[in-house]
Structure 1
Amino acid sequence: MSTNSFFDGWRPQLVESANFVGDFDIPQIEALPDIVPLPKRLVRFDHRGSESNHQGWIHCYTYDQRFTQLVNHTEKYLQEIRAFDGFITPDCSLYRGAPLAVQIGNTYMNRAVGSYMQHHGIPVICNIRWADQSSYSFCFDGAPRNSTIACSNHGCYRSREDKYQFEAGFDQMMSELTPRRVILHGTPMPQLNEKYGKEVEIVYYPSDFAQTRRGF
C-alpha cells in the first residue's frame, strides 16, 4: 500500500472519472444542486470520530497534517464521510512565497479529492484557497461557477498584509466564479456583506476555536 500521494504518483485513481480544466489540468468540481441545503454545521475531519450527530458537513480547516491521511488514503474514509451530510474539499495550504509548483499541486489535490467524493455520490462544496495575485491564474480552476463555494479566513486574517490579500482574493473569487452562495469559515467580515450581500448569500460558520471561546 502506498504511503503518500508523492510515491503514488499524485493519486491518479482519484481522477479516473474527472474532467480537467485550465492550463494545469485541474480536476473539475461540479456545481452543487440548488436543492441541497446549506450545512447545518461544519465538522472538522479529525473530529469526525467523536461525533454522534452526523448532521453536518466534513471540512479540513485545520493544519494540513491533520488531514494528510485523507489525501493519501481517500478511499479508506469514503464510508465515514458518506455518513455525514456532505464534504467540503480539503483546505490544502497555499502559502505566499511558496513555489508556484507546490501551490498548483495543492490546488490539484483539493479538487482531486473532491472529484472522487463527488463521483461516489457524496454532495461536495468546493473550497477555494489562494495566496496572492500570483496564484489567481490557477487557484480558481476546477471550481464551479454560479454555485455554492466555500473559503476560510481562519489563521490567515491577522496581519494587515493577511487582511489585504484575503480581501483581494475574495474579490477576485467573486469576479471569476460569480457564486450564488458562499460559506465563509472563520471570522465574520461585515464589509463583505455590505459589498456583495445584494447579489450573493454569504453564510458564516465559526471556527472551533471561536466556538470554544463562546461556550458553544
Structure 2
Amino acid sequence: MEKTGVPKYDTHRIYYWDDAELVGSHKLPQLAPQTLIPHDVVSFNERNAVKDPSEHWLDFFIDDDQFERCWTEFERGMVGDSNTERNSWRSLDRYIPQLMRFEGVIGTDYSMFPEMLPDQRNWNCARNRVFAYRMQRHGIPCIPVASWCCEEDWDWCFDGLPEESSIAVSTNGCCRNAGTRRMFRRGIDELIRRKRPYAVIVCGRSFPELEGCEASLMFYPSFSQRMKERIHGR
C-alpha cells in the first residue's frame, strides 16, 4: 500500500486490508480458495446461544444492522472515577476471538440494492471482501460470499473471489418476483462462468429458475426459515 504520510485514523479501518493483493478495477482484496462445505450453520445474531461453537459454522445472511458492529462500533464511556468522557472506536478485531471458536465462517453479505448509488453497492462489496480477507488473515476458515443486484455490477462484483473455491450466495430477497429470480439465476451463471466454483453454497429457498445450473447448488435454511420452523414446529 502506498504511504501518503497522512495519519490513518482508526475510523478508516485501512489496516483491515494490510498486505492484501488488490485486484480488479476497484482494487478489491484477493481471497484464498476454500474447498470446504459448511454444516450446522447459525447466524451471527445466534452466536451466544450456541453451546459448542466448534461444531457449527456461522454466517451473516441477516439484516446489515445486526452485524454492522463488526466493521466499526462507537463506544462512549467514562475514564476511571473522573467525569471525563471517553469516546473510542471498537473494531472487527474485538470479535475475532469469538469467531475463532466456530468451525468456520461464511463471509458478510452487506446489502446491494438497485435503489443504492453504484458506489454504495461497490463499497458494500468491498467490505464483504475485506471482512473475508481479515478472517483468512487470522487463520479462520472463511467461505467468500458473492452478491450482485444488476448486470452492471458484474464489471466488478466478482473481483477478488477465488477460482475453484466454495462460494456462498443467498436467495434472501431474490424470490419476490420473476424479475429478481431471473437476475439471481443470471448472476449464478456468470459466477460459474468466471470462477468455476468448487461448490456453490446457497442460503435460503430454491425456486424453479435455478433448475439446470451447470454447477450443483447446495442449500441450507436461512435464519428466517429456521425461526419459522421453530415457531410452527416443522
Answer whether TM exceeds 0.5 for this pair. yes
Post-superposition shift, 1:170? Answer: 1.2
Residues 148 and 182 in structure 1, CA contact (< 8 A), matched pair in contact too: yes
Give the Å deviation of 1:190: 5.8
For the residues of structure 1 that align with 2:186 and 2:123, how far apart are their CA atoms?
Answer: 22
Larger radius of gyration: 2
Q: Which ranges in structure 1 are unaligned for 5 or more consecutive residues?
A: 1-5
CA change 1:180–1:192 in 2 (3 A) is farther
Counterpart CA distance in 2 for 1:7 and 1:158 is 39
User: SS of 2:159's equivalent?
Assistant: coil
| 2:52 paired residue number | 53
Distance in structure 2 (CA, Å) of the matches to 1:83 and 1:142: 26
- Within the alignment, does 1:208 sit opposite 2:223 as a pair? yes
The separation in 1 between residues aligned to 2:224 and 2:127, in whole angstroms, is 26
Distance 1:80 1:26 in 2: 26
Residue 177 of structure 1: CA displacement? 1.1
User: Structure 1's 48 and 133: CA in aligned 2 closer, same or farther, altered over 3 A?
Assistant: same
TM-score by length of 1: 0.88
What one-letter code is carried by the residue in structure 2 that aligns with 1:39?
P
Q: What is the CA–CA distance in structure 1 between the aligned matches of 2:122 and 2:38, rounded to whole Å?
A: 28
**Aligned residue number for residue 89 of structure 1:** 107
Between the aligned partners of 1:57 and 1:130, the Cα distance in structure 2 is 23
Comparing both structures, which one devotes a greater share of its residues to strand? 2
Conservation of the 8 A alpha-carbon contact between 2:181 and 2:209 = no
Offset at residue 194 of structure 1 (A): 2.8
Are the structure 2 counterparts of residues 127 and 80 from structure 1 closer, same or farther at C-alpha, using a change threshold of 3 Å?
same
Give 5+ residue unaligned stretches, structure 2: 1-8, 73-90
Give the conservation status (yes or no) of the 8 Å contact 2:168–2:201: yes
Q: Distance in 1 between matches of 2:213 and 2:123?
A: 32
Distance in 2, matches of 1:99 and 1:190, equals 30
Post-superposition CA distance 1:109-163 (Å, at most 9, x none)? 1011110110010001000110100111111111011111000001222122211
Please tell me whether residue 66 in structure 1 is matched to residue 69 in structure 2: no
Aligned length: 204
Secondary structure of 1:96's aligned partner: coil
CA RMSD of aligned residues (A): 1.7
CA separation of 1:180 and 1:20: change in aligned 2, threshold 3 A: same
1:71 partner amino acid: W
Question: 1:180 Cα shift?
Answer: 1.6
